[in-house]
Chain A
Amino acid sequence: MQVDWSKNFFELFGLPVQFDLDPSDLLTRYRELQRRVHPDKFASASAEERRLSMQLTTLVNEGYQTLRDPVRRARYLLELSGAAMNDETDTSMKPEFLVEQMELREALEEACAREDSLRRLAELANDIERRHAAKLEELRDYFSRGQSALAATRNAVRELQFLGKLLREIRDQEEELT
C-alpha cells in the first residue's frame, strides 16, 4: 500500500479542487476508496500495513465528511487557498441579515408555543431550507468568480452557518414534540 499523505481531500478522491461536485459521484468514489483501504482486506497483512489501513480509513472518512457537506467543503477550499475562515475574528455581519435572523428565531419561539406547533415548525423549516438552498447557489456563483469575490464568498459561508444552526434548532424542537 503506497500512500501520499500530501494529497488534499479533493486529490484523494480524484476530484478537481473546486466547489462544484456531484454528490452521487462523490459517494461512489468514497465507497470505492473505502473498499480499497478497509482493514478487513489487511487482516492477514503485516502490523505496519494494518496500521496504515486504519489510518487511511480514518482519512477517507474524514475526507468524505468534509467534502459532502457544502459549508465544510467551502471552508476547506478557503483553507486550501490560504484564506481560511477564522470564526473568532470573522464576525462582521450585515445588519439586515442579523435583524432577519433575530426575527426568524422569534418566529421559532412563537411556533413552539402554539397548539399547531408541528405544522408551524414544518413551515418554518421549509422556509429556512429555501433560504439555505438559495444561499448555497450564491456561494457556488461566488466560488466560480474566484479571488475577486472572496469577501462575498466568506460572507455567504458565515450566513450559511447561521441558517444551518437555525435548521438544527428547528429539527431539535420537532424531535422534542414527536
Chain B
Amino acid sequence: MAYSDKVLDHYENPRNVGSFDKGDPNIGTGMVGAPACGDVMKLQIKVNGQGVIEDAKFKTYGCGSAIASSSLLTEWVKGKTLNEAAQIKNTQIAEELALPPVKIHCSVLAEDAIKAAIADYQSKTAGGDDKADAA
C-alpha cells in the first residue's frame, strides 16, 4: 500500500494525540469502530461557552489512513463552531489525504467520530444532571 505524503506526514507526526477527561461537561467524546478492519477511533472535542471547539484530541488504533484521517480532522475542527464541524464530509478528508478507494472507509470513520463527539457533547449540555459527576 503506497501512502500519500500527507498520510505519511500525519502518520509519522500525528497532531493532537491524547485524551481529555470524558466526564468533563465541556468535553464531547466520539467513539467509533470499523468492523471490516477492527480499527477503533476515539475523538474528543473541548467546547467553550460560545459553542466553539477550542481543542481536540484523538486516539486511533488502526492503519495509517485511519490515523491520518483522525489527526487531520482534529486540526480542522479547532476554532470551528459545532455546526461548522458537523458539516465536514468524509470526501473532504479523503481528498485532502489522497486516500485510495480501499481506504475511503477510514475517512468515513473520522466523520462518524466527530459527529458522535458533537452528539455526546450536546446530550451532556441538554441533560444538566450529568454535570454533577464531572470534577
Query: In the complex the two chains form, is A102's CB within 8 Å of B105's CB?
Result: no
Is A171's beta carbon under 8 Å from chain B?
no
Quick one: which of B34, B40, B105, B109 has the most chain A CB within 10 A?
Answer: B40
Query: In the complex the two chains form, is B31's CB within 8 Å of A87's CB?
Result: no
Compute how far the CA of A102 lies from the CA of B34 in the bound complex, rounded to whole angstroms: 12
Q: Please name all residues of chain B whose beta carbon is closer than 8 Å to the beta carbon of A164 when the two chains form the complex.
A: 38
Query: In the complex the two chains form, is B35's CB within 8 Å of A102's CB?
Result: no
Quick one: given A88-B105, A102-B59, are A165 and B37 in contact (CB under 8 Å)?
Answer: yes
Quick one: given A102-B42, A105-B61, are A162 and B36 in contact (CB under 8 Å)?
Answer: no
Nearest residue, chain B, Cβ from A167: B38
In the complex, chain A residues 128-177 whose Cβ is within 8 Å of any chain B Cβ: 157-158, 161-162, 164-166
Is A99's beta carbon under 8 Å from chain B?
yes
A-B contact pairs, 16 of them (CB 8 A): A87-B35, A88-B105, A91-B32, A91-B33, A91-B109, A95-B31, A98-B31, A99-B31, A102-B59, A157-B35, A158-B35, A161-B36, A162-B33, A162-B35, A164-B38, A165-B38
Residues of B within 8 A of A (CB): 31-38, 40, 42, 59, 61, 105, 108-109, 112
